Structure 1
Amino acid sequence: MKYSCVELNDLPDEILLIIFKKLNNLEVLYSFQGFNERFNKIIHDSMFTSRLSFPQLSFKKCIKKFSSDIILNRFCSQILLTIRTKIKCLDLESESMRNILDAADYPNLYALGLYNIEEETAK
């Protein structure tokens, strides 16, 4: 039996979309943003960018607070700026709300979900 070496970049766009749809869209954006021009085009599809749910960001569950701050900073300083016009819905929690809302203008945002937030903070 012969073994062949197939890399992720060798797969057709259709297969990559099938794979990426099975993953959390925030993780896809974080992991592949800036990887190459082709991947940027694929991950900027509306299926990954129209609704972002930060309370479900699984990175926070498995890494230290310091690392999650680095991830949030990258989202705010790089990723959100490139997809801000495609975002239609944001789900936020009090811990990251200010950073994400201050990171960019979201001209097409029509829904905002707030989770784990004090009433006074929401006001």
Structure 2
Amino acid sequence: MEFSFVQLMDLPNEILMIILKKLDNVDVLYSLMDVNTRLNQIVHDSIFTTKITLMKPIDQTLIQPDLLLDRFCSQILPKIHHKIKWLKLESASMEHILLAGDYPNLCQLDIFIMHKKPVIHFSGKKSNFHSFNHPIIKKDINLYYIVNGIL
């Protein structure tokens, strides 16, 4: 019986898309953007660029999450900012991320505020600011308060 060695780039685009859809959009963009022309075309698809979640993992398994954010803000977001419709981010990195692009099609911005202990008591876990007037946002801004990893 002979074994054949198949590499990722040997697969057709349709199969690559099926595989990549199973992964987190940020991981796909971070790992494959600018690797080569073919992968670049695939990762620029709206499946990967419409909804972006840029938050540090709670378990901090990433060795250098700040390096990921820096690369996203300097190299990736400037290339895809016009495609992003929904952006989820932490309040600590909000300014860095929002200044990385214009986001003309952004419809929803979710901001997560992390605290180690309760600072203020709220009646609900989610607040909508529909009256917020800024050219970056066309629809909703949602604030989520996370205390000790609990929403």
TM (norm. structure 2) is: 0.71
The corresponding residue for 1:35 is 35
Distance 1:69 1:59 in 2: 14
Identity of aligned residues (%): 49
Offset, 1:98: 1.4
The CA distance in 2 between the partners of 1:78 and 1:36, in whole Å, is: 15
Give the letter for the 1:91 counterpart. Answer: K
Map of 1:53 onto structure 2: 53
Bigger Cα displacement from structure 2, 89-98 vs 28-37: 89-98
Tell me the residue number matched to 2:62.
Answer: 63
Alignment of 1:1-123 (within 5 A): 1-55=1-55, 58=57, 61-64=60-63, 67-116=64-113
| The structure with more helix, counted as a fraction of residues | 1
Partners of 1:69 and 1:28 in 2: CA distance: 17
Q: SS in structure 1 opposite 2:60?
A: helix
Runs of 4 or more, structure 1, over 6 Å off, are none
Which structure would you say has the larger RCO, counting Cα contacts within 8 Å and 6 or more residues apart? 1
TM-score normalised according to structure 1 size: 0.86
Which protein has the larger Cα radius of gyration, Structure 1 or Structure 2?
A: 2
* Secondary structure, counterpart of 1:62 in structure 2: coil
Could you list the runs of 5+ residues in structure 2 that have no partner in the other structure? 120-142, 144-151
1:92 to partner: Cα distance: 0.9
**Following the alignment from structure 1 to structure 2, what is the Cα–Cα distance between the partners of residues 14 and 43?**
12
User: Quick check: which one's strand share is greater?
Assistant: 2
